[in-house]
Amino acid sequence: MTEWDGQGLPPAAAARMQRFQADGVRTSLLDVPAAASVTGVGLPPVGEVMGCMVQHIGWQGFGGCGYYGPSAGWGLGTVTSGSGARYAGYRPYVDALYRGYDTAIARMVTEAQAMGADGVVGVRLSVEHLGQGNREFVALGTAVRGRVAVHPPSPFVTDLPGADVAKLLHAGWVPASIAIGIAVAVRHDDYATQRQASAWGWNTEVSGYTELVQYVRADARHTFERHAGRAGADGAVVSDMGLHIWEYEPSEGHRDHVAEATVFGTTIARFHRGRTAPTRALTVLPLSAGLSSRSQRR
């Protein structure tokens, strides 16, 4: 058994594609309403697809706030991964997260291409901590294929559910790709922050922590917008925004707070200017004459 070089499909995935071609069984991660919605717009599911990557994240960059010394200081600023400094604000750590997500998505798309799919809908992205700095990045989705003679050169990818994809298509929009915005910011707990955070008996804003979360959220949103712009899209639909905060003590008497913000969504492009999206993906009308007449009498 030859060792996989990281290119193309992993051996296990290649074997699964061979079984897919041989037995013709079509699996899906979509629920019934979602599967019916995409089938109703001519994109029936053809199979579930997955991409994964295990990455060791060791050195995360110069993660400190840039301030050194035993005293607390006053009015110290926030350092973000989007700053100009090459290794400041956990930037190598953020780059590693992007690499994990992008690799998992790319391998999922490779599976979809092996199925002859035109797109992947309902994509779920997840990260599992395996210990000792190792993380597994996973992308799961359902491949769909149009009932048309001409197919796009590469599949579209979206984390939107099937019903939302159907509504977009009805309204003249098509999903293009998944956009991700990630940012990490670090701020020293200066004297003012310590006083506000420990104000016993008072409801007081901790302005230092407010600044930290504002900076990191803004940085993540800005990165998300840049990724959407590079995809050549007309817009983007944000599906999830997350925030995680932890403490870091680089030296005695020196405590920082670190915040990690994420933004996930789908880039979209307009392909025609038609009617607006319906309020429901599927509309059921009674076809029985008796039922219709009874409904009218009511």
SS3 state at 193: helix
CB-count burial class (<10 Å; 0-12, 13-18, 19+) for 245: middle
SS3 state at 42: coil
Question: How many C-beta atoms lie closer than 10 Å to residue 192's C-beta?
Answer: 16
CB 108, CB 139: distance < 8 Å: yes
pLDDT digits (tens, 9 = 90+) for 92-144: 889 999 999 999 999 999 999 999 999 999 999 999 999 888 999 999 999 99
Per-residue pLDDT of the chain (298 residues; tens, 9 = 90+): 567 777 777 788 788 777 877 777 778 889 999 999 999 999 999 999 999 999 998 877 665 555 544 444 544 567 777 665 555 668 888 999 999 999 999 999 999 999 999 999 999 999 999 988 899 999 999 999 988 777 888 899 999 999 999 999 988 899 999 999 999 988 888 778 888 888 776 888 888 889 999 999 999 999 999 999 988 889 999 999 999 998 877 666 677 889 999 999 999 998 876 555 444 444 444 555 554 444 444 4
CA distance 164 to 213: 31
CA 43 to chain centre: 22
Nearest to 30 by CA among 19, 14, 17, 43: 43
Amino acid at residue number 173: W
Query: Within the chain, what is the greatest distance between any pair of CA atoms?
Result: 85
CB 191, CB 146: distance < 8 Å: no
SS3 state at 200: coil
Question: How many C-beta atoms lie closer than 10 Å to residue 90's C-beta?
Answer: 26
Share of residues in the chain with pLDDT > 90 (%): 46
CA distance 69 to 242: 32
CB 81, CB 187: distance < 8 Å: no
- pTM here is 0.81
In the chain, where the domains are located = 26-297
CB 63, CB 90: distance < 8 Å: yes
CA distance 214 to 53: 31
